Amino acid sequence: MRKIFNFSAGPAVLPEVVLQQAREEMLDWHGSGMSVMEMSHRGKEFMTIAQQTEQDLRDLANIPDHYKVLFLQGGASGQFAMVPMNLLGNKKHADYVHTGQWSEKAIAEASSYCQVHIAASAEKSAFNSVPAIDQWQISQDTAYVHYTPNETIGGVEFQWTPDLSMIAGGSSDIPLVADMSSDFLSRPFDINKFGLIYAGAQKNVGPAGLVIVIVREDLLRIDPLSGTPTMYRYKTHAKNDSMYNTPPTYAIYIMGLVMRWLKQLGGLSAIEQRNLTKAKLIYDLIDASQFYRCPVVTPDRSRMNIPFTLVDAALDSIFLQQAEARGLIQLKGHRSVGGMRASIYNAMPVEGVQTLVTFMQEFEKNHA
Ligand code: PMP
C-alpha cells in the first residue's frame, strides 16, 4: 500500500489504529455476527456503542449532566439554521462575530430567521486576525452570541474563549454559541462557558454524516420558531436520546473508536501538546523563510489549518505535483483563496508534518 500523508481539510485523516480496528470488526462486531452497518439502531448492540461513545466524549471533555449531547445529521451547515430556529424564542435578533467564510455562512443563514447584529468583524484586517474582546459590541436583548473558534479556510483561530461578562453592556447570561467544527477536541475547552456548541465530525472526530451538538439543558426549554420541522427541533432529539429517527450509526461507531484512541493517548491536554508541536514545526519553517508566507497574524494562527503561499505563485502547481509525488496530498489551498493549506488535525501524525517540513525545505533550496 502506498504510504501517504493526507492534509485534507475534511473529510480528513483518521487514526490508522481506528481504521484497523474498524476493519477487524467489519464483518462481525464483538461476536454479534453483524457489521455495525447492519445493526438496528435500537438493538442492544448499537445502543451499547452509542452510549459508550457519548460517555467517552463526556469523560474526555468533562461534559456535566446538565448538558445534552446530540448526534445529528445535516452537517454544521444544518446547524447554521437550527441554532436560530431553536434559540431565538421570542427575541428578534442575534449577535454574530464575523471572522471569515464559515462565520459568513452562519450569518447568511441566520439572516433568514432574525436580524443579525455583527458584534465584531475582522473584515478590516482582511480576516487575518480575530477581533479582540474589547472590540465586541453585544446588542441589547440579543438571543445569543455566535462565533467560529477556528476558521477552516482562513486559518484563523481564537486562542481564548470569549467571556461575555467582560463586555460593557454585555451580560454573562447571554448564551455563547460556537461552531467548533474544525477544532473540536483538538484542545481542552470548558463547556460551562457555552450555551451550545456544534461540530461536524469529518475533521477531528470521524467520517462525514454526523454532527455533534452539546447544549445546555435550560436552552431546550425555549420554544422553536413556529413552523420549525420536527427534525430541526433540538427538543425532538434531546427527548429521544438522538434516536428519534435513524441516526448515522456507522459514523457514531467510528467516532466511538476515535474517542477511545484519544483517551488512550492521554486525553485533550495530551493531544493539545501534540498539536502544538506539529503546528510549530510548520510555522517555524515559514517564519524563518523568505520563500513561504502565512497571511495570518502570529497570535491568531490556527493549529489545525495552516494556509501558506509561495513568494512566486507560478511555482504553486509544481510544488503541489512534487508534494504529491512524495505522498503529501491535498495541500492545495481552498479554491477561494489559492496557495496552499495544510490541515493537521488530531489524527495527522507528527511524522507526516516532519515529512512535509523536510519537503518544503528542499523545495525552497531548489527553487529560491
Ligand atoms: N463550519 C466550519 C468551521 C467548517 O469548517 C465547515 C466545513 N468545512 C462547516 C461549518 C460546514 O460543515 P458541513 O459540510 O458539515 O455542513
Contact status, residue 206 vs residue 21, Cβ threshold 8 Å: no
**Quick check: CB of 99 below 6 Å from ligand 1?**
no
Residue 137: inside a domain, yes or no?
Answer: yes
User: For the ranges 48-52, 117-121, 265-269, 335-339, which has the lowest average pLDDT?
Assistant: 335-339
Q: Which helix (H) or strand (E) holds 145?
A: strand 145-147
Percent of the chain with pLDDT over 90: 94
Q: Which residue has the cell 448492540?
A: 45
Which residues, in sequence order, are CB contacts of 189 under 8 Å at separation 6+?
A: 61, 161, 180, 268
Task: Point out the domain boundary residue: 232, 263, 294.
Answer: 263
**Quick check: CB of 74 below 6 Å from ligand 1?**
no
The mean per-residue pLDDT over the stretch 166-177 comes to: 79
Could you confirm whether 136 is annotated as catalytic?
no
Q: Is the dihedral of CA 281, 286, 291, 293 positive or negative?
A: positive
Provide the Cα torsion 156, 157, 160, 162; round to 10°: 80
**Quick check: CB of 157 below 6 Å from ligand 1?**
no
Residue 170 pLDDT > 90:
no
Task: Give the residue from 252, 226, 224, 222 showing the smallest Cα distance to 70.
Answer: 252
C-alpha cell at 201: 465530525
Residues 289 and 257 in one domain: no
Which of 102, 183, 300, 332 is catalytic? The answer is: 102
Residues 67 and 130 in one domain: yes
pLDDT of residue 368: 84
Residues 240 and 280 in one domain: no
- How many structural domains comprise the chain? 2
Pairing of strands 305-310, 292-293: antiparallel
Q: Is 152 annotated as a binding residue?
A: yes
pTM of the model: 0.97
State in Å: Cα 209 to ligand 1 middle: 11
Could you confirm whether 179 is annotated as catalytic?
yes
* Rounded Cα distance, 124 and 175, in Å: 27
Q: How far is CA 269 from CA 170, 212, 263, 351, in A?
A: 31, 21, 10, 20
Residue 169 pLDDT > 80:
no
Residue 5: inside a domain, yes or no?
Answer: no
Residues 291 and 254 in one domain: no
State in Å: Cα 16 to ligand 1 middle: 23
Residue 172 pLDDT > 80:
no
Domain region containing 70? 17-263
Q: Which helix (H) or strand (E) holds 220?
A: none
Residues 30 and 53 in one domain: yes
Residue 173 pLDDT > 80:
yes
Residues 140 and 165 in one domain: yes
CA 114 to chain CA mean position, Å? 25
Which of 68, 203, 278, 332 is catalytic? The answer is: 203
Q: Which residue has the cell 528542499?
A: 362
What's the CATH code of the domain at 278?
3.90.1150.10
Residue 48 pLDDT > 80:
yes
**Quick check: CB of 200 below 6 Å from ligand 1?**
yes
Residues 219 and 275 in one domain: no
pLDDT tens digit sequence for 67-111: 999 999 999 999 999 999 999 999 999 999 999 999 999 999 999
pLDDT of residue 348: 98
Give, for ligand 1, the residue of 71, 72, 77, 98 to mutate: max count of ligand atoms closer than 8 Å to Cβ.
Answer: 77
Could you confirm whether 102 is annotated as catalytic?
yes
State in Å: Cα 49 to ligand 1 middle: 25
Atom 10, ligand 1: which residue's CA is nearest? Answer: 76
Residue 3: inside a domain, yes or no?
Answer: no
Pairing of strands 115-121, 5-6: unpaired
Atom 9, ligand 1: which residue's CA is nearest? Answer: 76
Helix axes 249-265, 44-61, angle to 10 degrees: 40
Task: Give the residue from 199, 192, 205 showing the smallest Cα distance to 65.
Answer: 192
**Helix ranges, the chain (H):** 16-24, 44-61, 75-87, 101-110, 234-239, 249-265, 267-287, 316-325, 350-367
Ligand 1 atom closest to residue 78's alpha carbon, by position in its atom list = 16
pLDDT tens digit sequence for 305-331: 999 999 999 999 999 999 999 999 999
pLDDT of residue 338: 86
